[in-house]
């Protein structure tokens, strides 16, 4: 819906479009030297808008590429390396085609989203109110025609219906009317064109019939049609709005300020945007890195989950690299800036995310392309029916009624509901099974899966580390470790403390940054931390080969020393789910950013033969693209921020609810709980949903093959056409309800094994 469809109060509250301004602040150069700029575009109603906008922009001199993300409304324009970027030409071209745009700003897009959401909700309310009241009047007329209603009373009810329907349709139909007008101006057809024609002609014929004191009017059909279509459009808008909001949380990982060393050695706080490559900055505990930098001095534990996907912090020292967005747990670092601003690794992830989402968005266009083929056929059929009956000697009134009946009976309601109705019911079934759908075409793509790629940490394993078997650790040392762990916020210490909730805190504990914690227990010195801090290096060196997938935490009490193994345990049903997927004939792949020594034991335990370690986001995308090139439908299951680009580029993706906000936003579905059973359930229900979608499409096609000839032959009145059109919609909806069968409730709590999930394929 564009800004013109908004009420004046809402439109007035929106910020004005940028006029003459310095666009250099929004331009960046990619590695090939091409200038690039992102715009936010409003007025995008359907997938057909994507082709229209991209074609208009790519026709401009110097523009090499234009890519529009349907979900985020973000248009990325790339200019030839030798061309001068002219953002004002892009804005003018978009305005000429009926779209308003501005340099991309998340806050301003949110304002537009809020206004659009409020307007759609008001339209839905008006259409619902009008439909209910007109239906009451229509029931009175229908029953009266059978009994003894007088013509005067019938006319009165028809005029009351007109009084309600005409203003209600004029207001509630704006999203469809304006979309149709914009499509016609662009010399294209979308699904809103036949809907608009059907509604307007039904209203026009109804007024004509009322003026001529006829028995039937069709105000109820027109308004009810608007009500159901508005409901679907509002839900679609709400889904995309939520996805945009969650994807916007990536900004929360960006530091807004930096502690920069000046030339005279002073430390000053400056905006992160002011830092340049070569500048030196300081990072303290609790701060996020504002830049990609090389550690010059200091040691610290750094959470780099956005890079590797691992929740365990990494110990960094001089010579190591720290990426923007990384969180310092303890210690102080001095960095030399390698990359700043939009050249950081965090921004690279954001661009990969947007690029993958844009590429995948083209898959959704198939439905609207079908509508563009269907719409002209409907119009041509109605026009030919009108002309044919006039040539055959029918009166203009009779010919118009037949043409209107053809338009109404071919209104693409059954066609439009065939797939969405199954999606809604199947999504509800999955919701009860603990799976939440994020994208509209998830079911079709899940049903095409023949390969499943898993991330390791937080996906096959639980998101939080846990203390492993401690049967060989002396009780006094274990008790000391638990009490010391209560005084630390380190993730490894939290895992030890969580395993011993009965432990009592110590009164005085000294924390040694980057090493561990120390206290006095029963007159003895007690330490918990790194093996070096506790004097257990030799013991750790001997144990490390035996526990390659564990983090070793040392504890010392007096002269006694022991090692605790902290690792991320597999999800309770991981092995069972992997076996169930293998039994379904699916190929299984493991992609992890962790060390080879940590990935190999997990792959061996689960029997996954194809696995990769130390994978960066771009590496995961490369593997997925390689699998896709072999005509494989790849399901990616991941949870880390580093998995977000891979999730977006995969054929279809799933993410646990514990995943990062950005990752959940890019996943096509999210599953609840700490079990993997929902992955199996989702695949089985998707296959059933695909079967029902195909059935519904066949029903819709068969309906048109039977109904259209009858309408063209003049055997169907507009009233019967409206009833037939509604009946076909009811049939596909009832068939869609069969998607409720199966699915169970196991996934939410894992009360049954995946093998026990009885879901019809």
Higher pLDDT, 484 or 411: 484
The Cβ of residue 529 has, within 10 Å, a number of other Cβ atoms equal to 24
Confidence band, pLDDT 50/70/90 cuts, at residue 661: low
Indicate the pLDDT class of residue 420, thresholds 50, 70 and 90. Answer: low
pLDDT for residue 350: 67
Which pLDDT score is estimated for 23? Answer: 74
- Token couple for 680: 């199996």
Band (pLDDT 50/70/90 cuts) for residue 245 is: low
Q: Are 272 and 344 in contact (CB under 8 A)?
A: no
Q: What value does the mean pLDDT take over residues 342-363? A: 60
Is 587's pLDDT higher than 70?
Answer: yes
- Of 11-25, 89-103, 546-560, 654-668, which range is least confident? 11-25
Mean pLDDT of 668-695: 85
What mean pLDDT comes out for the span 20-30?
70
- Reported as a pLDDT band with limits 50, 70 and 90, residue 280 is very high
* Complete domains list, the chain, with CATH: 3-104 (3.30.70.100), 112-252 (1.20.120), 253-347 (2.70.150.10), 395-433+682-761 (no CATH), 435-463+571-671 (3.40.50.1000), 466-567 (3.40.1110.10)
Q: Classify residue 326 by burial, with Cβ atoms within 10 Å: 0-12, 13-18, 19+.
A: buried
User: If you average pLDDT over residues 103-118, what whole number do you get?
Assistant: 75
Q: 699 or 421: which carries more pLDDT confidence? A: 699
Give the chain's largest Cα–Cα span: 112
Q: What pLDDT shows up at residue 336?
A: 95
pLDDT score of 577: 93
> What per-residue confidence (pLDDT) applies to 47?
57
Residue 242: per-residue pLDDT: 62
Q: Which residues are catalytic?
A: 455
What is the rounded average pLDDT of the residues 120-138? 90
Question: Residue 597 above 50 pLDDT?
Answer: yes
- Is 75 exposed, middle or buried, given 0-12, 13-18 or 19+ CB atoms closer than 10 A? buried
Rounded Cα distance between 410 and 408, Å, is: 5
Q: What is the rounded average pLDDT of the residues 333-341?
A: 91
Q: In this model, does residue 747 exceed pLDDT 50?
A: no
Strand (E) or helix (H) holding 590: strand 587-591
Least confident of 507-516, 673-682, 719-728: 719-728
| Higher-confidence position of 36 and 363 | 36
Tell me the DSSP string of 385-439: HHHHHHHTT--HHHHHHHHHHHHHHT-THHHHHHHHHHHHHHHHHHHHTTEEE-S
Average pLDDT over residues 677-702: 87
pLDDT mean over 300-314: 71
Q: DSSP states of 452-472 as a string?
A: EEE-IIIIIB-SS-EE---TT
Between 434 and 714, the higher pLDDT residue: 714
Residue from 583, 579, 575, 619 nearest 309 by CA: 619
Q: What is the pLDDT of residue 311?
A: 59
Sheet order of strands, 551-557 included: 466-467, 560-567, 551-557, 524-529, 516-521, 510-512
Q: In this predicted structure, what is the pLDDT of residue 401?
A: 80
Mean of per-residue pLDDT scores for the chain: 79
| φ, ψ at 28 (rounded to 5°) | -140, 160
Distance CA 299, CA 330 (A): 8
Least confidently predicted of 249-263, 299-313, 670-684, 699-713: 299-313
Q: Are 593 and 642 in contact (CB under 8 A)?
A: yes
Q: What is the mean pLDDT of residues 27-35?
A: 73
Beta strands in 5-109, from DSSP E residues, in sequence order: 28-29, 35-42, 63-69, 74-79, 100-103
Residues 537 and 547: their CA atoms lie apart, in Å, by: 15
What dihedral do alpha carbons 8, 10, 12, 17 form, nearest 10°? -120
Q: Between 617-629 and 345-361, two packed helices, what is the crossing angle to 10 degrees? A: 20
The pLDDT confidence band at residue 748, using thresholds 50, 70 and 90, is very low
What is the SS3 assignment for 79?
Answer: strand
pLDDT at 580 over 60: yes
- pLDDT in the model for residue 534: 92
CA angle 339/344/349 to nearest 5° reads 160
pLDDT at 265 over 60: yes
Average pLDDT over residues 44-63: 80
Q: Tell me if 414 sits within 8 A of 728, measured CB to CB.
A: yes
pLDDT at 760: 32
Phi, psi of 557 (to 5 degrees): -135, 105
**So what's the pLDDT on residue 483?**
92
- Residue 10's pLDDT band, with cuts at 50, 70 and 90, is very low
The CB density around residue 587, as the number of other CB atoms within 10 Å, is 17
Confidence band, pLDDT 50/70/90 cuts, at residue 750: very low
Residue 758 — very low, low, confident or very high, per pLDDT cuts 50/70/90? very low
Residue 501 pLDDT exceeds 60: yes
The yes-or-no verdict on residue 391 having pLDDT over 50 is yes
Give the pTM: 0.56
More confident residue, 720 or 598: 598
CB 662 within 8 Å of CB 247? yes
Which position has the token pair 């899940």? 446
DSSP string for 504-556: PPPS--EEETTTEEEEEETTEEEEEE-HHHHT-HHHHHHHGGG-TTSEEEEEE
């Amino acid at each position: 819906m564009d800004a013109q469809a908004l009420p004046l109060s809402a439109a007035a509250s929106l910020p004005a479009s940028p006029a003459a301004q310095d666009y250099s602040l929004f331009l960046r150069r990619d590695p090939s030297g091409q200038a690039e700029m992102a715009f936010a575009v409003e007025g995008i109603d359907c997938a057909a808008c994507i082709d229209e906008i991209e074609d208009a922009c790519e026709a401009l001199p110097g523009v090499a590429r234009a890519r529009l993300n349907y979900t985020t409304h973000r248009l990325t324009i790339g200019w030839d390396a030798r061309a001068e970027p002219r953002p004002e030409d892009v804005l003018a071209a978009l305005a000429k085609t009926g779209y308003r745009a501005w340099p991309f700003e998340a806050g301003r897009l949110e304002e537009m989203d809020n206004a659009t959401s409020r307007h759609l909700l008001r339209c839905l309310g008006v259409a619902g109110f009008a439909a209910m009241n007109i239906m009451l009047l229509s029931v009175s007329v229908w029953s009266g025609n059978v009994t003894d209603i007088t013509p005067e009373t019938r006319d009165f009810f028809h005029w009351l219906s007109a009084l309600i329907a005409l203003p209600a349709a004029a207001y509630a139909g704006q999203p469809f009317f304006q979309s149709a007008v914009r499509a016609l101006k662009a010399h294209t057809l979308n699904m809103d064109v036949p809907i608009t024609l059907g509604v307007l002609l039904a209203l026009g014929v109804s007024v004509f019939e009322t003026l001529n004191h006829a028995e039937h009017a069709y105000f109820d059909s027109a308004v009810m049609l608007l009500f159901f279509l508005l409901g679907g459009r509002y839900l679609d808008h709400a889904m995309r709005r939520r996805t945009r909001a969650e994807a916007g949380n990536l900004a929360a990982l960006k530091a807004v300020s930096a502690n920069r060393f000046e030339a005279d050695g002073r430390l000053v706080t400056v905006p992160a945007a002011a830092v340049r490559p070569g500048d030196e900055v300081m990072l303290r505990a609790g701060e996020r890195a504002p830049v990609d930098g090389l550690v010059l001095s200091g040691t610290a534990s750094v959470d780099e989950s956005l890079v590797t996907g691992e929740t365990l912090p990494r110990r960094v020292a001089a010579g190591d690299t720290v990426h923007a967005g990384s969180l310092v747990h303890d210690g102080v670092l001095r960095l030399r800036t390698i990359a700043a601003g939009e050249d950081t690794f965090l921004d690279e992830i954001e661009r990969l995310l947007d690029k993958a989402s844009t590429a995948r968005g083209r898959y959704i266009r198939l439905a609207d392309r079908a509508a563009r083929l269907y719409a002209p056929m409907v119009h041509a059929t109605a026009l030919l029916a009108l002309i044919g009956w006039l040539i055959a000697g029918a009166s203009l009134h009779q010919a118009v009624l037949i043409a209107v009946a053809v338009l109404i009976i071919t209104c693409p309601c059954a066609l439009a509901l065939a797939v969405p109705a199954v999606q809604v019911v199947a999504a509800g079934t999955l919701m009860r099974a603990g799976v939440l759908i994020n994208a509209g075409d998830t079911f079709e793509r899940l049903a095409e899966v023949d390969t499943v790629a898993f991330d390791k940490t937080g996906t096959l394993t639980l998101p939080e580390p846990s203390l492993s078997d401690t049967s060989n650790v002396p009780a006094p040392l274990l008790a000391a470790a638990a009490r010391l762990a209560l005084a630390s916020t380190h993730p490894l210490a939290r895992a030890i403390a969580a395993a011993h909730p009965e432990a009592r805190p110590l009164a005085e504990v000294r924390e040694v940054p980057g090493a561990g914690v120390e206290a006095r227990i029963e007159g003895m010195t007690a330490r918990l931390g790194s093996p070096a801090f506790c004097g257990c290096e030799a013991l750790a060196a001997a144990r490390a080969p035996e526990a390659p997938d564990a983090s070793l935490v040392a504890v010392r009490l007096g002269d006694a020393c022991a090692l605790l193994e902290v690792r991320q345990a597999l999800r309770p049903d991981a092995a069972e789910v992997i076996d169930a997927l293998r039994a379904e004939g699916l190929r299984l792949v493991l992609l992890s950013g962790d060390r080879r020594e940590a990935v190999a034991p997990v792959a061996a335990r689960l029997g996954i033969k194809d696995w990769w370690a130390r994978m960066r986001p771009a590496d995961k995308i490369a593997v997925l693209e390689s699998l896709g090139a072999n005509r494989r439908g790849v399901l990616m299951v991941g949870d880390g921020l580093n998995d977000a680009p891979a999730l977006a580029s995969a054929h279809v993706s799933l993410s646990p609810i514990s995943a990062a906000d950005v990752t959940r936003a890019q996943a096509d579905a999210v599953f609840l709980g700490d079990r993997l059973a929902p992955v199996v359930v989702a695949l089985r229900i998707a296959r059933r949903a695909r079967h029902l979608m195909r059935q519904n499409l066949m029903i819709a096609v068969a309906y048109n093959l039977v109904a259209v000839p009858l309408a063209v032959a003049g055997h169907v009145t507009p009233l019967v056409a409206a009833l037939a059109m509604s009946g076909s919609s009811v049939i596909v909806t009832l068939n869609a309800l069969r998607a409720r069968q199966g699915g169970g409730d196991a996934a939410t709590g894992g009360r049954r094994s995946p093998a026990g999930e009885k879901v019809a394929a």
